[in-house]
């Protein structure tokens, strides 16, 4: 029976299956790259998140208690993750080797130290909080001329990357919806081509179960083949990218369990679950 | 208990074409019903309701007291497996061969057994198309297709045979062949519902004549 039904199914819809193959080859290829860039940007952001504080320089302050108060005050701000205090002593200690030896000869240690500020390294809770935090801290500098704010120079780039990341997320969701709609559309199209014949089959006492199963089988086979091909191309290209640009890592990393888990879920959704769902949905109105 | 009952059945094709109006009809086991009436009277529509290709707009059909609307998909396919339907428009699988078309019917009615191949050829021989057995249906003439449609329905030896204009495209020899098969069927106690306006058949006094006109039951002789 399956032999005859396959004949019926394939005779009319072979072109749609070829089209499905091409579509999924490219779709999957770009999806994998969306993930690749998304995860890499996330990765780069994360490595910066804990490393780029806003530096607050406080000059001519001799009372460490005031600094402590200020620090704990800032720490209460919701945008602040942590504050690290660097005293002039530590600063001097750190920069000793960089200072020209003449200076160390002319001025006493205490004199130099008095010119050095306290530094509060203020780490924001998240990259996206930078602007708000910076604005609030700027208010302080207005009130006190001895306070100065230093932003990391490449901050704008990181901030941009943050939104880039958000954009990618939206792109990924749209991309998935596009796939779902495409699958539904394709199945509906094949169904309408085969409508007369499925109806004959039903009138002779058959059920749609076999048709659904066959469709799932064919679509699944096509998707698996297209997946393997486009995944191979993806791995080849993404490996090259990450070997040229050391900032980029290849994804998924097969030695990490959670990467495998996510990759498996992706395959399950795109190759099995979505096709199954759309096939069932597309056959809804064909029962007579 | 009637095998099939139509109770106040009306069928309106959208938007408002009344194809059948308030039909009451009981079909008993062993009946030979001849449905007749002019073109467009609603014969095919009535048959479609019986094998549930269409649903009634109002009223209800019963299969041995089970309302059609309550039939589960599985029960419905079981009901259809016990029907042999000769469609007015043949409804064959055009890409499959004559042999395959008939074989599918046997498989679906769970009557495909070891010697079925012989049986299929016997019937093809009887209707004089055995040389076309391996041809695709879409390559056959209208009359040949009609023959395949007939064989597909009767070969499964159904409890109820529904035949919609089975003789429309056939030569007199084949018509007689069919009529003799139908008579034999009926003698075995099988139920037959035949829609036709072929005077040759109507004059033979085969069974109970039910006449439709513009969707209404006019005569129930
Ligand atoms: N799917 C449909 N949609 C709209 N109208 C339909 C549909 N099927 C049939 N009709 C209309 O219903 C009426 C009855 O059609 P039906 O096919 O039942 O007639 P019939 O008695 O079988 O005629 P014939 O002897 O020519 O086979 C016709 O006027 C036809 O135009
Ligand atoms: Mg008709």
Domain count across chain B:
1
Out of A106, A126, A151, a domain closes at A151
Q: Do B51 and A203 touch (CB under 8 A)?
A: yes
Residues A273 and A220 reside in one and the same domain: yes
Atom of ligand 1 nearest to the CA of B42: 18
Residues A127 and A174 reside in one and the same domain: no
Complex-level ipTM: 0.92
Average pLDDT rounded to a whole number, residues B49-71: 92
Residues A126 and A261 reside in one and the same domain: no
Q: How far is the CA of A232 from the centre of ligand 2 (A)?
A: 58
Q: How far is the CA of A109 from the centre of ligand 2 (A)?
A: 112
Query: For A286, which residue in chain B has the nearest alpha carbon?
Result: B53
Predicted model pTM: 0.79
Mutate to test the interface with A, among B48, B77, B89, B112 (most CBs of A within 10 A): B77
CATH number of the domain that A139 lies in? Answer: 3.30.70.3040
Residues A21 and A43 reside in one and the same domain: yes
Cβ of B213 less than 6 Å from ligand 1: no
Residues A238 and A137 reside in one and the same domain: no
Residues A131 and A197 reside in one and the same domain: no
Say whether pLDDT at A165 is over 60. yes
Q: Given CB atoms, is B81 within the 8 Å cutoff of chain A?
A: yes
Residues A259 and A190 reside in one and the same domain: yes
Work out the mean pLDDT of chain A and round it to a whole number.
86
In order, the DSSP letters of chain A are: -HHHHHHHHHHHHHHHHHHHHHHHHHHHHHHHHHHHHHHHHHHHHHHHHTT-PEEEEE-S---HHHHHHHHHHHHTSTTEEEEEEE-HHHHHHHHGGGS-HHHHHHS-HHHHHHHSPEEEEEEESSGGGHHHHHHHHHHHHHH-TTEEEE--TTHHHHHHHHHHHHHHHHHHHHHHHHHHHHHHHHHHHHHHHHHHHHHHHHHTT--THHHHHHHHHHHHHHHHHHHHHHHHHHHHHHHHHHHHSTT---SS-TT-HHHHHHHHHHHIIIIIIHHHHHHHHHTGGG--
Note the pLDDT of residue A132: 81
Cβ-nearest to B77 among A7, A11, A206:
A206
Domain count across chain A:
2
Mutate to test the interface with B, among A196, A201, A205 (most CBs of B within 10 A): A205
Identify the residue whose C-alpha is closest to ligand 1 atom 29.
B40
Cβ-nearest to B85 among A197, A203, A287:
A203
Which domain covers residue B129, as residue numbers? 4-220
Note the pLDDT of residue B219: 66
What is the β-pairing status of strands A147-150 and A118-124? Answer: unpaired
Out of A151, A178, A199, a domain closes at A151
Residues A119 and A197 reside in one and the same domain: no
Out of A151, A171, A197, a domain closes at A151
Residues A43 and A118 reside in one and the same domain: no
Residues A259 and A275 reside in one and the same domain: yes
Which domain covers residue A121, as residue numbers? 53-151
Say whether pLDDT at B204 is over 60. yes
Note the pLDDT of residue B13: 92
Chain A residues touching B107 at Cβ < 8 A? 1
Least confident among A29-38, A98-107, A271-280, B89-98 = A98-107
* pLDDT over 90 percentage in chain A: 35
Say whether pLDDT at A49 is over 70. no
CATH number of the domain that B99 lies in? Answer: 3.40.50.300
pLDDT in tens, A84-132: 888 888 888 877 777 777 777 787 777 777 788 888 888 888 777 777 8
Note the pLDDT of residue A156: 67
């Amino acid at each position: 029976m399956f032999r005859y039904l396959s004949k019926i199914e394939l005779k009319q819809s072979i072109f749609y299956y070829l089209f499905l193959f091409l579509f999924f080859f490219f779709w999957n290829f770009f999806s994998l790259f969306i993930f690749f860039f998304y995860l890499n940007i996330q990765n780069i952001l994360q490595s910066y998140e804990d490393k780029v504080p806003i530096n607050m320089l406080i000059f001519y302050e001799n009372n460490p208690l005031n600094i402590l108060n200020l620090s704990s005050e800032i720490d209460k701000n919701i945008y602040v993750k942590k504050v690290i205090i660097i005293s002039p002593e530590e600063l001097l200690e750190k920069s000793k080797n960089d200072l020209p030896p003449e200076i160390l000869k002319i001025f006493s240690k205490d004199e130099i130290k008095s010119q050095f500020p306290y530094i509060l390294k203020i780490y924001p809770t998240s990259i996206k909080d930078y602007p708000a935090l910076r604005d609030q801290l700027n208010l302080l500098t207005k009130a006190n001329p001895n306070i100065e704010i230093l932003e990391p120079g490449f901050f704008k780039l990181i901030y941009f990357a943050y939104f880039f990341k958000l954009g990618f997320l939206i792109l990924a969701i749209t991309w998935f919806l596009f796939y779902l709609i495409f699958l539904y559309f394709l199945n509906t199209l094949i169904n309408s081509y085969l409508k007369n014949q499925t109806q004959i089959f039903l009138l002779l006492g058959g059920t749609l179960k076999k048709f659904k199963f066959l469709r799932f089988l064919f679509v699944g086979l096509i998707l698996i083949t297209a997946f393997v091909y486009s995944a191979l191309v993806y791995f080849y290209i993404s490996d090259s990218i990450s070997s040229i640009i050391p900032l980029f890592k290849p994804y998924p990393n097969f030695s990490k369990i959670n990467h495998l888990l996510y990759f498996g879920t992706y395959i399950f959704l795109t190759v099995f679950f979505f096709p199954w769902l759309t096939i069932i949905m597309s056959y809804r109105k064909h029962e007579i | 208990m009637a095998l099939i009952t139509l109770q106040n059945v009306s069928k309106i094709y959208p938007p408002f074409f009344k194809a059948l109006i308030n039909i009451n009809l009981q079909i008993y086991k062993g009946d030979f019903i001849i449905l007749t009436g002019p073109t467009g009277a609603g014969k095919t529509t009535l048959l479609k309701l019986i094998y549930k290709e269409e649903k009634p707009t109002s009223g209800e059909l019963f299969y041995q007291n089970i309302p059609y609307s309550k039939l589960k998909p599985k029960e419905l396919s079981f009901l259809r497996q016990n029907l042999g339907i000769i469609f007015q428009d043949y409804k064959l699988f055009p890409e499959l061969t004559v042999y395959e078309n008939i074989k599918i019917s046997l498989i679906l009615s769970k009557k495909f057994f070891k010697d079925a191949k012989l049986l299929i050829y016997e019937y093809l021989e009887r209707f004089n198309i055995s040389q076309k057995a391996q041809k695709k249906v879409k390559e056959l003439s209208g009359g040949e297709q009609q023959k395949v449609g007939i064989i597909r329905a009767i070969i499964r030896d159904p409890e109820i045979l529904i035949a919609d204009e089975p003789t429309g495209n056939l030569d007199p020899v084949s018509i007689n062949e069919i009529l003799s098969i139908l008579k034999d069927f009926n003698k075995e106690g099988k139920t037959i519902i035949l829609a036709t306006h072929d005077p040759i058949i109507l004059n033979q006094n085969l069974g109970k004549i039910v006449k439709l006109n513009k969707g209404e039951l006019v005569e129930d002789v």
